[in-house]
Chain A
């Protein structure tokens, strides 16, 4: 599809929080995502699951603009993210446009990626002060409140190297939330954690789902967790959405053979 065929904005009565429209991503001849179409509604929690190499992490990374896309358009709240309007048509976004659009998206990573030379509190204050232009006092109030919420307030003056993986990930969640995003992305946030601390991170995400109207997209290998908190499960296989459904339906009555195979394999591994 030609870029000129894509709408400059989505119509008001059809504006999901996120829309992937015919999105393609490839590295050279390797196609990672093939003609992806996916809507995520306001306040929805969608879990992306699938075997490794199915392109699920790429979905999040494209949304965070960490990866460019090779085809299609991503819309955020009806406005193009990956593209911008010029002379009545969409052209690939420049950095200024990306910075404007990125402001509504936050992300947590598998390996936390906290800034090692800053304390937990400084990690949380960095974005609000440098990017949003908040005063130090405002940023501190906001950050301390979030550190309280994730149960890390008593460690606020520790550097990441002094924190466990679970603690680091909770700080990372607070850091992302301090930017007040409307969309939160969780990329395998428990995969690098020791089993005994996974619960403290999932507990924080559970509370986010229950108490906030964030739109969330989560890549995870924890089927039980995904089933508990998601509004919808998206199963990726070889760069395509093989099946998507509400969790109950998805886990109890998967329609596609690939899904059934995957769920069997995951169950055997448990």
Chain B
């Protein structure tokens, strides 16, 4: 058994993998955008005056968190058409990722919101602010810096989960590496490159998140 790494082959497949990297970034980015917004809506939805809504949301989120992402991807893509919702692999994949991670991000937001001292709410009330202004202008600006590390972790997490989209045929990195492998019977280079690409993108992201947190805290005077 030999370990023959072929640089020629690496250069040959690099363009395809680069294109797939863009797809992966696009999938992760749009999935994350959905998760950020949906997660916030879910976190705020649990804080309304209607206990029934809180209950339903909490149980739904628990369900989403307790089942595997890959199952949710399959479900949306394959079961959706049976109830009249036909989605392209791309859309189905992003929705599954967005939904799955919104369940986690809502917890991050919730913890961030709860870290804002009770006195801040009371000061808003004493100034007669609306609930909306209280959240938008006082609570969330303080909650978000608290939530940034958690939000950053899930960004990296989403990024690393994008290979699951290969199961429904989204041409992201993993799918492309598999395709190259089955065409050429060479797996060492494509999989190694995929690993290197993931590493090269995850590490700086984590660093950027830390930087963002610091900048935000300083900007908010905290």
Interface residues of A (CB under 8 A from B): 64-66, 99, 102-103, 105-107, 109, 111-119, 126-127, 130-131, 159-162, 175-176, 179
Cβ-defined partner of A109 (8 Å) among B122, B128, B141: B122
Given known pairs A130-B133, A161-B221, the reply for A116 and B142 (CB within 8 Å) is: yes
Q: Are A126 and B221 in contact (CB under 8 A)?
A: no
Cβ-defined partner of B222 (8 Å) among A131, A161, A176: A161
Q: What separation, in Å, do the CA atoms of A102 and B124 have in the docked complex? A: 12
Residue of B nearest to A175 (CB): B127
Q: Kindly state whether residue B126 has any CB partner on chain A within 8 Å.
A: yes
Q: Are B128 and A126 in contact (CB under 8 A)?
A: no
Could you pull out 15 A-B pairs where Cβ atoms are within 8 angstroms?
Answer: A64-B122, A66-B122, A99-B128, A102-B126, A107-B126, A112-B119, A116-B221, A117-B222, A119-B221, A131-B130, A159-B221, A161-B222, A162-B221, A176-B126, A179-B128
Q: What separation, in Å, do the CA atoms of A112 and B221 have in the docked complex? A: 16
Q: Kindly state whether residue B53 has any CB partner on chain A within 8 Å.
A: no
Q: What separation, in Å, do the CA atoms of A99 and B124 have in the docked complex? A: 12
Q: What separation, in Å, do the CA atoms of A102 and B130 have in the docked complex? A: 12
Q: Kindly state whether residue B138 has any CB partner on chain A within 8 Å.
A: yes
Question: How big is chain B's contact interface, by range?
Answer: 10 to 19
Most buried by A among B117, B128, B141, B142: B128
Per-residue CB contact flags for chain B residues 190-222 toward chain A (1 = under 8 Å, else 0) read 000000000000000000000000000000111
Which residues in B have their C-beta under 8 angstroms from that of A103? 128
Q: Are A102 and B222 in contact (CB under 8 A)?
A: no
Besides A64-B125, A113-B122, A159-B221, 14 more A-B contacts (Cβ < 8 Å) are A64-B122, A102-B128, A105-B126, A107-B126, A113-B117, A115-B120, A115-B138, A116-B220, A116-B222, A117-B222, A127-B129, A131-B129, A131-B130, A179-B127
Which residues in B have their C-beta under 8 angstroms from that of A105? 126
Given known pairs A113-B123, A117-B141, A117-B142, the reply for A127 and B222 (CB within 8 Å) is: no
Q: What separation, in Å, do the CA atoms of A149 and B220 have in the docked complex? A: 26
Q: Which 4 A-B residue pairs are closest in the complex by CB-CB distance?
A: A159-B221, A117-B220, A113-B119, A113-B123
Q: Kindly state whether residue B16 has any CB partner on chain A within 8 Å.
A: no
Q: What separation, in Å, do the CA atoms of A28 and B122 have in the docked complex? A: 22
Number of contacts between A and B (CB, 8 Å)? 67
Most buried by A among B133, B221, B222: B221
Q: Are B221 and A109 in contact (CB under 8 A)?
A: no
B138 to chain A minimum Cβ distance, whole angstroms, is 6
Q: What separation, in Å, do the CA atoms of A175 and B128 have in the docked complex? A: 12
Which residues in A have their C-beta under 8 angstroms from that of B222? 116-117, 159, 161
Q: Are B125 and A109 in contact (CB under 8 A)?
A: no
Per-residue CB contact flags for chain B residues 108-139 toward chain A (1 = under 8 Å, else 0) read 00000000010110110111111001000110
Q: What separation, in Å, do the CA atoms of A176 and B122 have in the docked complex? A: 12
Which residues in A have their C-beta under 8 angstroms from that of B129? 126-127, 130-131
Given known pairs A113-B120, A116-B142, the reply for A66 and B221 (CB within 8 Å) is: no
Which residues in A have their C-beta under 8 angstroms from that of B221? 116-119, 159-162
Residue of B nearest to A179 (CB): B127
Q: Are B123 and A115 in contact (CB under 8 A)?
A: yes
Q: What separation, in Å, do the CA atoms of A112 and B119 have in the docked complex? A: 8
Q: What separation, in Å, do the CA atoms of A159 and B126 have in the docked complex? A: 20
Q: What separation, in Å, do the CA atoms of A196 and B13 have in the docked complex? A: 73
Q: Are A126 and B127 in contact (CB under 8 A)?
A: yes
Which residues in B have their C-beta under 8 angstroms from that of A114? 123
Q: What separation, in Å, do the CA atoms of A51 and B218 have in the docked complex? A: 41
Which residues in B have their C-beta under 8 angstroms from that of A99? 128, 130
A231 to chain B minimum Cβ distance, whole angstroms, is 23
Which residues in A have their C-beta under 8 angstroms from that of B130? 99, 131
Q: Are B126 and A64 in contact (CB under 8 A)?
A: yes
Which residues in A have their C-beta under 8 angstroms from that of B126? 64, 66, 102, 105-107, 109, 176
Q: Are B119 and A109 in contact (CB under 8 A)?
A: yes
